[in-house]
Chains A and B, each alone.
Chain A
Amino acid sequence: MKTSNVILQSMTKVLLFLIMIFSIYIFFAGHYTPGGGFVGGLLTSGAILLLLLAYDLQTVRNILPVNFLYMVAVGLVFAIGTGAGSLIFNKPFLTHAFGDLHVPILGELHLHTATLFDLGVYLVVVGVTMSIIQTIGGDDE
């Protein structure tokens, strides 16, 4: 680094969490308000991208020791697994279930299997964008 990036790096430390929280909010709020797995995933990758810009590729790899291609695979497994789950209950593929569930500590929760599907979408989107950016950015030639 020739020049100092103190301001950028300091701001990143703050903004990163804001963006992350916003993206998680967008993800969870998707079923009721605009948002969902796709935008949430894109925003999360935006946060990581900011990290990449402020630091360098190797630092980000140290911070997030994740192989994003595996993340794509995990996301796909989530999406397909959610769909296949309905088959166990003798329902057509991708039939979602929802209902209120009483969980200790957290209390009454309204849960929906579509969230698991959306989580798959989220993971795939993060994995795809990050692996594309890392691959292209990490290419020396």
Chain B
Amino acid sequence: MSLLHLAIIAPFIIAVFVPLIYKNIKSVHTGWFILPLPILLFIYFSSFISKTTNKQVTMESFSWISSLGIDFTVKVDGLGLLFALLITGIGSLVILYSIYYLSKQKEKLNTFYVYLLLFMGAMLGVVLSDNLIVLYAFWELTSFSSFLLIGYWYNREKSRYGAQKSMIITVLGGLAMLGGIILLYNMTGTFSITEIVAQADTIIDHPLFVAALLCILLGAFTKSAQFPFHIWLPDAMEAPTPVSAYLHSATMVKAGIYLVARMSPVFAEDTLWMGLIIAFGLFTLFWGSFSAVKQTDLKSILAFSTISQLGLIMSLLGVGAAALHYDQPKYFTVATTAAIFHLINHATFKGSLFMVVGIVDHETGTRDIRKLGGLMNLMPITFTIAIIGTFSMAGLPPFNGFLSKEMFFTGMINALHMDFDWSIIIPIIAWIASVFTFIYSMILVFKTFTGKYQPEKLEKKPHEAPIGMLISPIILASLVIVIGFFPNIIKPILVPAIETVMPMYEFDVHISMWHGFNTELVMTIGVIIVGVLLYLGLNKWRGIYGIFPEKLALNRFYDGLLDSMYKGSHSLNRNVMTGSINHYLSYMFLFMVVLIIGSLFGQNAFAFSTDNLAPIHFYEVILTLIVAISSIALLFAKSRIVSILLTGTIGYMVSLLFIVFRAPDLALTQLVIETISVSLFLLCFYHLPKKLTDDPVPVKVRNAVISVGVGLFVILVGLTAHSTKLFDSISQYYIENTYSEAAGKNMVNVILVDFRGFDTMFEIAVLGIAALAIFSLIKLRRNGGKKIENK
């Protein structure tokens, strides 16, 4: 186990001690004890930057289940390092923020930090694992810890609902991903990503390739909230704001992006991969930005904004994959650069915006933009951060969002080089979505901080947040500006990451703020002009959201699906599990008949031959007739005593048949046993109603049909079995050895006590158990307890 393994496991180890710290040190906020960990990890991971810029990949292996090819192998390359830095960096800021956000007195800090550390460790595991099964394990752990964090205020119904929803959707995708991983293993024989990538060329024609691709994509789309799986993200906003900032903007929702980027070298050879990612990404981009405009809750706006931006990154990755399929790959590789660049930018500005919203919520008591307004003068620092974040999100200069948006437009315009007829809609959708992005960004900042101050609607008197709460968003906002002005300082992180996604191309990234007067700039200017106009006329066109029927909303569909699944299984259960033995027996016999007769004729296994038949004797005919007549009479018997006597008749006739067929031991036993069982029947008879219950006619007909079927299948199976004798009987051995080996002349008895005495031993044990059971049933009734003591 190397230091790298320790770095990934460290959050789990610390998580064990959190409750101890919380219980014993009450005076200091628990968060302070957690804070050093992500900072140390951040510093530790920073030390890898110099290695990855030189294209050095650090791999460490730790044996786990080597026999199954599952080893805890960690690999630090450009992409993994970028994510690890995001996770630890933003993790540190979020923990710092949470120290001021969560009250020491009111909240259960121990659980919060345990969950958060679990999440951090799991996320590090996801991005640094080279083994797909280990990656999957960490992946599910992120779903699980996210579930716990969303439901942190578990006494609120909405939190529980949101937690359940996110759990169901992400675990659905996680399981699909597991399927994809197993398919990949089938194709390549390894779980190691490095080795799978090495075999990428050979598996593309494999019949399982497309299935694996779809399964992996389903996992990525659910985790990264792509349409139509995005519905869990807005409901996950019930989590405490630090959680939203950390999980639902910067890290967890990017796990899907990470997976797509990581698996690109494997799957991008197939155009399906590219097409699906572009289509889903673009639609998510549009749908998220379109839906964000109608939200009134600040966090909901941010949630839909996150969905939209994730769609943006996803579609860029898709366009980047086009490089493999068309001439002049440099048109498309710029999209991959844009994707990774925007990934970093989005983490910075979205993290700061969530924290801003958290501050507003904390200081005013509401997140509803209809109640907020005019906070600019009261909270100047928060306002500044918000301006920086939203302008960057809207793609305005001089912030980093502008740069990545320009690159996004470049990527989307270059997508026109794809030679299919409808490629023009790609930049158009991208542009429209950008307009909506601009509008909700403006709503977010101006509806909150400008306009009329409405103190009567607010629960608290707002004032500037404490400095501790502001540190983290300030750092993130300054990053937004620094990256905006000096984008090339993140090149050491950016370039290795891009090269991991597209290992076959050389990248020489140079990002500059002013890149000349070109189409992208015109598009951005267009976005600003149209966006400003639309924002000003917001009230006039807002009505279009009312046109869209609420019934078709995906949440309704999800709720309806869940509800109908519950109701469906409930009613299915109620209809099938009636509690009636009659029904259950009908099912069982019906299935037996259908399966056995079906397979008998379906497999053409029915056989009938008249060989080996013994001549029929007069006695046998008579006895069989008596049995048959009694059986039929039994069916129509009206009183119970008649049935019992008829049963006895059948039993004695069977005993006689045993005599005819020369089985004296059986005949003797049958005779005595029949006598005893008839007397036991008669004992019970005394306590039973005289008349047999009358079933209604349809039930009788149904039962009759099933019984005839069962009789038929027994006859058919008997005939077939008799007609197809594959082996001779082994009885010759017994005939020869009964006296010489076992010193007996009654072969039946010798078999029972000697050759196969083991069976007999357990049969008498069965008898003993039956006697004990009857004794217990009768004596241990509620009122019968006393009698035992007397005995």
Verify that A and B bind, or say they do not.
Answer: yes
Contact of B749 among A31, A68, A83, A139 (CB under 8 A): A31
> Are B753 and A76 in contact (CB-based, < 8 A)?
no
In chain B, positions 559-595 with a C-beta closer than 8 Å to chain A are none
Q: Is A124 touching B768 in the complex (CB atoms < 8 A)?
A: yes
Asked if B757 contacts A94 (CB within 8 A), the reply is yes
Contacts of A117 in B (CB 8 A): 753, 757, 760-761
A89 within 8 A of B: no
Interface flags, B657-690, vs A, CB<8A=1, else 0:
0000000110011001101100010010000000
CB contact under 8 A between A42 and B760, given known A110-B743, A118-B753, A128-B771: no
Q: How far is the CB of B238 from chain A (nearest CB, A)?
A: 61
Chain A residues packing against B (C-beta within 8 Å):
26, 30-39, 42-43, 45-46, 68-69, 72-73, 75-76, 79-80, 83, 93-94, 96, 98, 110, 112, 114, 117-118, 120-121, 124-125, 127-129, 131-132, 135-137, 139, 141
Q: Give min CB distance, A91 to chain B, whole Å.
A: 13
Instruction: For B676, list chain A residues within 8 Å (CB).
Output: 42, 45, 129
A135–B668 touching, CB < 8 Å:
no
The answer on a CB contact under 8 Å between B749 and A72 is: no
Extra A-B contacts (11), CB below 8 Å, given A32-B745, A42-B672, A125-B764? A30-B749, A32-B744, A34-B664, A34-B746, A35-B668, A39-B668, A118-B753, A121-B764, A124-B768, A131-B775, A141-B784
Are A42 and B757 in contact (CB-based, < 8 A)? no
Q: Which residues of A contact B770 (CB under 8 A)?
A: 128, 132
Min CB distance, A74 to chain B, in Å? 11
- Are the C-beta atoms of B764 and A76 separated by less than 8 Å? yes
In the complex, the answer to whether B746 meets A72 with C-beta atoms within 8 Å is: no
Chain B interface (Cβ < 8 Å from any Cβ of A): 664-665, 668-669, 672-673, 675-676, 680, 683, 742-746, 748-750, 752-754, 757-758, 760-761, 764-765, 767-768, 770-772, 774-775, 778-779, 783-784
Q: Which of B672, B742, B775 contacts A43 (CB 8 A)?
A: B672
Q: Shortest Cβ distance from A35 into chain B, in angstroms?
A: 7
* Residues of chain B contacted by A45 (CB below 8 angstroms): 676
Instruction: Pick from A31, A83, A118, A132: contact of B771, CB below 8 A.
Output: A132
For residue B753, which residues in chain A have a CB less than 8 angstroms away from its CB? 31, 36-37, 96, 114, 117-118, 121
B764 near A120 with CB under 8 A, answer: yes
Q: Kindly list the 8 A-B residue pairs having the minimum CB-CB distance in the complex, ordered from nearest.
A: A34-B664, A31-B744, A42-B672, A128-B771, A124-B764, A98-B743, A32-B745, A36-B749
- Which residue from A38, A68, A79, A110 sits with its C-beta under 8 Å from B669? A38
| Contact B749 A80, beta carbon cutoff 8 Å | no
Instruction: For the complex formed, measure the closest distance between the CB of B784 and the CB atoms of chain A, giving whole angstroms.
Output: 8
Cα–Cα distance between A37 and B757 once the two chains are bound (Å): 12
By the criterion CB–CB under 8 Å, are B767 and A128 in contact? Answer: yes
B1 CB, min distance to chain A CBs, angstroms: 50
Chain B residues with Cβ below 8 Å from A34 are: 664-665, 668, 746, 748
- Verify A136–B680 contact, CB threshold 8 A: yes
Residue of B nearest to A39 (CB): B668
Q: Whole-angstrom distance between the alpha carbons of A51 and B103 in the complex?
A: 86
Return the contact of B665 from the options A36, A76, A124, A135 (Cβ within 8 A): A36
Name, among A36, A73, A131, the residue most crowded by chain B CB atoms within 10 Å (CB to CB).
Answer: A36
A39→B665 contact, CB < 8 A = yes
Residues of A within 8 A of B778 (CB): 135-136, 139
Give every chain A residue within 8 A of B765 (Cβ-Cβ): 76
**Interchain nearest-CB distance for A113 vs B (Å):** 9
Most A C-beta atoms less than 10 A away, residue of B673, B757, B779: B757
B761 touches A128 (CB 8 A): no
Choose one: A69, A114, A137; the contact of B744 (CB below 8 Å): A114
The reply to whether A33 and B758 contact each other, CB–CB distance below 8 Å, is: no
Contact A114 B767 (CB under 8 A): no
Question: Can you list 12 A-B pairs with a CB-CB distance of less than 8 A?
Answer: A35-B665, A69-B775, A72-B771, A83-B758, A83-B761, A98-B743, A117-B757, A117-B761, A124-B764, A127-B771, A141-B783, A141-B784
Contacts known (A34-B665, A39-B665, A76-B765); A112 close to B683, Cβ less than 8 A: no
Task: Please name all residues of chain B whose beta carbon is closer than 8 Å to the beta carbon of A38 when the two chains form the complex.
Answer: 669, 752
CA distance A132 to B553 in the complex (A): 68
Tell which of B669, B764, B775, B783 has the most Cβ of chain A within 10 Å: B764
The reply to whether A135 and B744 contact each other, CB–CB distance below 8 Å, is no
Nearest-CB residue, chain A, relative to B665 = A34
Given A31-B749, A39-B672, A42-B669, decide whether A135 and B743 contact each other with a Cβ distance below 8 A: no
Please, how many angstroms separate the alpha-carbon atoms of A79 and B765 in the complex?
A: 10
Cβ-neighbour of A112 out of B675, B744, B783 (below 8 A): B744
Alpha-carbon distance A44/B48, docked complex (angstroms): 90
Closest-by-CB residue of A relative to B684 is A136
Contact A132 B672 (CB under 8 A): no
Query: With A79-B764, A80-B761, A127-B771 as given contacts, are A31 and B750 in contact (CB-CB < 8 Å)?
Result: yes
Are B749 and A35 neighbours in the complex by a CB distance under 8 Å? Answer: yes
Residues of A contacting B758 in the complex (Cβ-Cβ under 8 angstroms): 83, 93-94
Q: Chain B residue with minimal CB distance to A112?
A: B743
Within 8 Å CB of A35, what residues of B? 665, 668, 746, 749
Nearest-Cβ distance from residue A83 to partner chain B, whole angstroms: 6
Whether A69 touches B669, Cβ cut-off 8 Å, given contacts A32-B744, A36-B749, A114-B754, is no
- The listed residue (A32, A72, A83) touching B757 by CB distance below 8 A is A83
CA distance A45 to B157 in the complex (A): 69
Min distance, Cβ A73 to any Cβ of chain B, angstroms: 8
Identify A75's interface contact among B672, B748, B764, B779, CB under 8 A.
B764
* Distance in Å: Cβ of A111 to nearest Cβ of chain B: 10
Residue of B with least CB distance to A122: B764
> Using Cβ atoms and an 8 Å threshold, which residues of chain B touch A26?
668
Known: A31-B750, A76-B768. A96 touches B742 (CB 8 A): yes
A43 to B757, CA, bound (A): 22
Q: Report the minimum CB–CB distance from A134 to chain B (whole Å).
A: 9
Residues of chain B within 8 A of A36, CB atoms compared: 665, 746, 748-749, 752-753
Residue of B nearest to A110 (CB): B743
A132 shortest CB reach to chain B, Å? 5
B673 adjacent to A135 (CB under 8 Å): no
Residue contact B761 to A125, C-beta cutoff 8 Å: no
Q: How far is the CB of B437 from chain A (nearest CB, A)?
A: 81
Q: In the complex the two chains form, what is the Cα distance from A137 to B665 in whole Å?
A: 29
Cβ B768 vs Cβ A72 within 8 A: yes
A128 touches B768 (CB 8 A): yes
* Residues B772 and A121 in contact, CB atoms below 8 Å apart: no
| Nearest B-chain residue to A125, judged by Cβ | B767
Expressed in whole angstroms, the minimum distance between the Cβ of B668 and any Cβ of chain A is: 5
Docked CA distance A76–B40 (Å): 71
Give the distance to chain B from A96, nearest Cβ to Cβ, in Å: 5
Enumerate chain A residues within 8 angstroms of B683, measured Cβ to Cβ: 136-137
Q: A36-B665, A112-B743 are in contact. Are A94 and B761 (CB under 8 A)?
A: yes
Q: How far is the CA of A93 from the CA of B742 in the complex (A)?
A: 15
* B745-A33 in contact (CB<8A): yes
Residues in chain A near residue B771, CB distance under 8 A: 68-69, 72, 127-128, 131-132
List chain B residues, Cβ under 8 A from A112: 743-744
* Chain B, residue nearest A53 (CB): B679
Query: Which chain B residue shows the least CB distance to A38?
Result: B669
Kindly state the separation between the CA atoms of A128 and B374 in the bound complex, as whole angstroms. Answer: 92
